[in-house]
Amino acid sequence: MENTLPFHTPDRVLDAPLLTFDLTDVVNLLKQEDVWKMGERNSITLMKSTYMRVVLIALHEQTEMNFHQSGNMMSVQIIEGSVTIQTDKKTEQLKKGCLLTLHEETKHTLIAMEASVFLLTIAICPTG
């Protein structure tokens, strides 16, 4: 099933066997919203299931996001701009096209070095 715009509707499909997105269109829509124009960030959850989340996040320059330790692995893929990701052990500079992965229990901070857009994918670890 293909997901279609607009995104901010209560009946929008977040979990289906197949979802497709034109990221250029989604980024443009995020940047047209008042939340982006008046705030530090805007985001949209593209996919949400029991074991996975995919969120597209747009940040203005120098916006900082602190991620606390979690029991979930994640990846950050830069779509536009550049960000710095700091962990207790390492600092990485990521630009458009870069992908970073983090294991669970890795506390980190992400700082947009310029207006940036990235895909955050979270693998939800089942508890048992």
Instruction: Calculate what percentage of the chain has a pLDDT beyond 70.
Output: 88
Pair type for strands 108-112 and 73-80: unpaired
- What topology does CATH give the domain 23-123? Jelly Rolls (2.60.120)
45-76: pLDDT as tens digits: 999 999 999 999 999 999 999 876 668 899 99
6 cis-preceded (ω within 30 degrees of 0): yes
Measure CA 42 to chain center.
10
> What pLDDT band is residue 8 in, cutting at 50, 70 and 90?
low
pTM passes above 0.75: yes
Task: List the chain domain ranges.
Answer: 23-123
Asked if pLDDT for residue 18 goes beyond 50, the answer is yes
